[in-house]
Amino acid sequence: MGKKKILFLFGNRPTSLIVNMAALLNQAGYNCLVAYHARSGSRVEIPLPSGADFSKYDFISTNVGKHWLVRSFGRIRALCWFTVRVWKESPIVVHAWHFDTLIAAYFSLLVRPRTKLIFHMQDTYPWMRGLIGRVVQKVVYKRVDQFFVTARPFENEFLRKFHLIQKQKPVVFMPNVPLRSMFSEHRERMNPEGLTIGYFGFIRGRSAISSLINAVESVSEQGYECRVVFAGIGVETEYVRELAEHNSQVDFLGPYKYQDIEDLYSQVDILYAVYDDGYDKKIHLAYRLCEAINCGLPIIVTKDTHMAELTEHYKVGASVTCGDSENLVSILIDLIENREKVKTYSENCRLARPDFVFENFQDSILSAYAGLTSD
């Protein structure tokens, strides 16, 4: 009897979490394949991480144009491709990672009731809380056999709060956490002067970005050395690029490969992960917190969010209201003047690290899959 086939469907280039999960399932005796949409030219394009078994990966590549018709055509074309892949591979489990890939899986499996379906919720959006969005989700989610969520509030503050899933529907917490080895040799900056702030990953939230720049300038005007380093890609890429061209305290390194991220973290003293104060950001858990904890770096997050709760619980940083430059200035100056506080935050990161590595969740992943494929 051949290995049980698992098909991942991902609407962008795979993240390290997908690569790690696919590797784990392959090691456990499954045959895990990954089908993804390489959105060339997208402002949220993700580089394929190292360590991926390319023989297990297949993709459709579409150019992302500026006109909405071009973007829509590319997405429809990709969804059709995903649908065909499900039919062609005939997997025992389909694991969808975005709602559009879930839609493709849903229609593909209408006449295949024995195929199990997993949905891995990574983000929520305003349309998902609207009346039409909730109705569509309720219909589609009835076909889902197992949910994975990257933030715990996605279950109680979204899926169950808005009655989108049945009470007995299982939900597994699987955040975007790195392998233990990813940052095992992280090097702290040697003899840092002043404060260097890192903003890495998806570049979004203009209000939070402008607030950071204003705070950095204010701190510098008070005689302290302070600068910020941006790296990544996102909807505010051009805004940040322009800031860097006209402000000596701002560096923009552009897109990066995930395998190079450890080097980025060695260049900064703290991380900034303030985006916006909308409901969807209140309940999410960004990569940055998990990575900051693994690197032993203090982090600044948005106040009154799930990220802030975790930051306060583990005592690994501070929180600030989005757009509150004055309070952010106070936090930055405090970190510059009080190096013992920075050391305490770093030590707390090291203590919290076992809770934020991929290995901590392996048993939950394998148990969920065993329950779905046991028959």
Which strands make up the sheet holding 57-63, listed edge to edge?
57-63, 31-40, 5-10, 93-96, 116-121, 146-149, 171-173
H/E element, 343 = helix 339-352
**Cα(54)–Cα(34) distance, integer angstroms:** 9
Q: Is 145 a domain residue?
A: yes
Structural domain of 98: 5-177+358-373
Based on the fold, state whether residues 208 and 168 are members of the same structural domain.
Answer: no
Based on the fold, state whether residues 351 and 364 are members of the same structural domain.
Answer: no
Based on the fold, state whether residues 205 and 139 are members of the same structural domain.
Answer: no
Based on the fold, state whether residues 166 and 239 are members of the same structural domain.
Answer: no
- Reading the chain (375 residues) residue by residue, the pLDDT tens digits are 578 999 999 887 788 899 899 999 999 999 999 888 776 554 444 444 555 555 566 656 655 555 556 666 777 887 788 888 888 888 999 999 989 899 989 999 988 889 999 999 999 999 999 999 999 999 999 999 999 999 999 999 999 999 999 988 999 999 999 999 888 766 666 556 789 999 998 898 899 999 999 999 999 999 999 999 999 888 899 999 999 999 999 999 988 877 677 788 888 999 999 988 789 999 999 888 999 999 999 999 999 999 999 999 999 999 999 888 999 999 999 999 988 998 999 999 999 999 999 999 999 999 999 999 886
pLDDT value of position 55: 55
- The CATH code of the domain that includes 363 is 3.40.50.2000
Q: Is 190 a domain residue?
A: no
For residues 36 and 10, the answer to whether their CB atoms sit within 8 Å is yes
Domains identified in the chain, total number: 2
Q: Is 107 a domain residue?
A: yes
pLDDT value of position 51: 52
H/E element, 136 = helix 131-141
Q: Is 189 a domain residue?
A: no
**Cα(47)–Cα(258) distance, integer angstroms:** 7
Task: Report the DSSP beta bridge partners of residue 93.
Answer: 6, 116
pLDDT value of position 229: 95
Number of Cβ within a 10 Å radius of residue 85: 20
CA 62, 230, 269: angle at the middle one, nearest 5? Answer: 140
Based on the fold, state whether residues 333 and 210 are members of the same structural domain.
Answer: yes
Based on the fold, state whether residues 225 and 319 are members of the same structural domain.
Answer: yes
